[in-house]
Chain A
Amino acid sequence: MGIIELKNIVKTFPSEKVGEGVHAVRDVSLTIEEGDIFGIIGYSGAGKSTLVRCINLLEKPTSGEVIVEGKNITAYSEVELRAVRRRMGMIFQHFNLLNSANVFENIAAPLKNQGRISGKEIRERVEEMLRLTGLEDKARAYPSQLSGGQKQRVAIARALVGRPRILLCDEATSALDPNTTTQIIELLRSLQEKLKLTVVMITHQMEVVKSICNKVAVMEEGKVIEEGSLVEVFSEPKSSITKEFREKTLYRKEAIALAEKNKRNLYELTFIGEKANDPAIMDLVRNYPVEVSILFGNIEILSGVPFGTLTIDMKGEGKDILDAVAYLKSREIKVEELGGHKIEERKEERREEDKIWNG
């Protein structure tokens, strides 16, 4: 059983303009296991921010159940929910710090609010968080004196000072530049390990999901349309956002344009896991009378699994090319044809050739 379970969550906002209201989340069920770094990705307006707010019930689902650490919290009273929320940290795109309080006070706020924690303990725990987030020298600074990355560090320290088991991140890196994004991601990853956190990350940045998450759900129009481990989702992209991501990182558009221009047939090969280390292309060239030229190649590590793609151009007899493709497939390499000459046409040619041979 997961640490967070969402069962058939529906959230509809009443609207005066639209008769039936705005359907932000439509029947979403997800299970997030302890220790996961679970990415929820989608374009803006896909309902992911509403969905993450259903986890700590900042938004009450119209229907459905939220089960956290085995307890159904959907029907909890506001007072009971406060206790649940103290066990969940949350960070935001715009940091949401108190501008009128310094870094130390900002981080101490959740502890002070709990009462019954001594001043000495508060100081120790805030200092521990300052150390973990690399802000030791900024304790007395005010947010206006900090950079975006530093502000997000303060927000992370504030979210974790109460020692929650779950951290919710709502577009936590979307307001940061790429360098700072990488630093914050690294920080989140190390904190997740040290503090044994379960992290839920809402983002529209595929790079973020790719670099930190082990599981991902893709949302579109309030629904989860793809879900699984990072490798599963990227090897079989179904939604426009994952496909688009693949096209971007694999230069696929450029490859197709090239194929069409030169009336060539290009193949995109996908190697996953150990396959990425196989000398498949070398074996191919050795055993089949085809010429192979490599146009683009890329290898990514998705949650520790090598994920390679290669765009190649094959020259040779139609029959030989078909055999070569079959051979690659037999080695569990995904082969996809990009533009140019289609395999169907090749089959026609092959039949022609067979006739001649047999004739």
Chain B
Amino acid sequence: MEWLNSMFPNVEKLWPYIVKSLNETLIMVSISGVFAAALGVPLGIVLAVTKKGELLSFPPLYSILSKIVNTVRSIPFVILIASIPWLVRAIVGTTIGMKGAIVPLIIACIPFMAKQTELALQSIDKGVIEAYRAMGFSEIAIIFKVMLKEGFSAIIQAVTIMLVGLISYSAVAGSVGGGGLGDFAIRYGYGQNKTDVMFLTIVIMLVMVFFVQWVGDSLSKLVSHR
């Protein structure tokens, strides 16, 4: 312990803050992750099936949705946060703290999730879909019993990538007043030039990312049967 204390002189004193920040990050990532997946996956399904030549081909809708998705996707996250305080206030009543950070996080992740879902469903063999049409399956039945079933493993992977991205975005959100580990690292590690605190924050984030990736990969493997 003595040795650890000499290596990380500031950690013991700041420990309560570290725990609090970690908590905030976990809450931000999980709440935004759930909402982004819950809204992004259905949007991705709509994109995948309305594309020209696909199951429910409807190019006008596809074109509008994919343009919106691409536009939001191409706005850098820092600028997205700074550009929508009016929207954030309208939804959660405040623009600061975790509450204020979660809305931009969700908005940034939905298009990513939608695009990844679209790609996951697009990569399903068209022959399989045709086979189920030939068996007399309705389009809705094909979406749920064929496309989502076959694409489930790829969607889990997409959620995993999104969560890893969310961890990094949440740090950015923290730096503009959202709290969490990013906020903590900037305030103490960078602002007060405490290298040990900075280093510890990085380690915590790495552990989070590796854990998320490991869980995602295992789940995806479990359902893929390839």
A residues at B contact (CB < 8 Å): 56, 58, 81-86, 88, 90, 92, 94, 96-102, 109-110, 113, 142-144, 155, 158-159, 162, 168
Q: Beta-carbon contacts of B138-165 to A below 8 Å, as 1s and 0s?
A: 1001000110011011000000000000
Given contacts A82-B138, A142-B225, contact A98 B130 (CB under 8 A): no
A-B contact count (CB 8 A): 68
Given contacts A99-B225, A99-B226, A109-B145, contact A94 B134 (CB under 8 A): no
Given contacts A100-B224, A109-B145, contact A90 B134 (CB under 8 A): yes
Q: A102 contacts which chain B residues (CB < 8 A)?
A: 225
Q: Is B131 touching A96 in the complex (CB atoms < 8 A)?
A: yes
Q: Is A83 touching B134 in the complex (CB atoms < 8 A)?
A: no
Instruction: Tell me the complex Cα distance, A134–B226, Å.
Output: 23
B residues at A contact (CB < 8 Å): 125, 127-128, 130-138, 141, 145-146, 149-150, 152-153, 223-226
How close is B156's CB to chain A, nearest CB, in angstroms?
12
**Interface core residue of B134, B137, B141, B149 (most chain A CB under 10 Å):** B134
Given contacts A94-B125, A98-B150, A99-B225, contact A113 B136 (CB under 8 A): yes
Q: Is B149 touching A100 in the complex (CB atoms < 8 A)?
A: yes
Q: Is B149 touching A101 in the complex (CB atoms < 8 A)?
A: yes
Q: B226 contacts which chain A residues (CB < 8 A)?
A: 99, 144
Instruction: Identify the closest chain A residue to B138 (Cβ).
Output: A82
Q: A97 contacts which chain B residues (CB < 8 A)?
A: 128
Given contacts A82-B137, A113-B141, contact A92 B153 (CB under 8 A): no
Q: A85 contacts which chain B residues (CB < 8 A)?
A: 133-136
How close is A158's CB to chain B, nearest CB, in angstroms?
8
Known pairs A94-B125, A144-B226 / 14 extra A-B pairs, C-beta < 8 Å: A85-B133, A85-B135, A86-B135, A90-B131, A92-B130, A94-B127, A100-B224, A101-B149, A102-B225, A109-B132, A109-B135, A142-B225, A158-B135, A168-B134
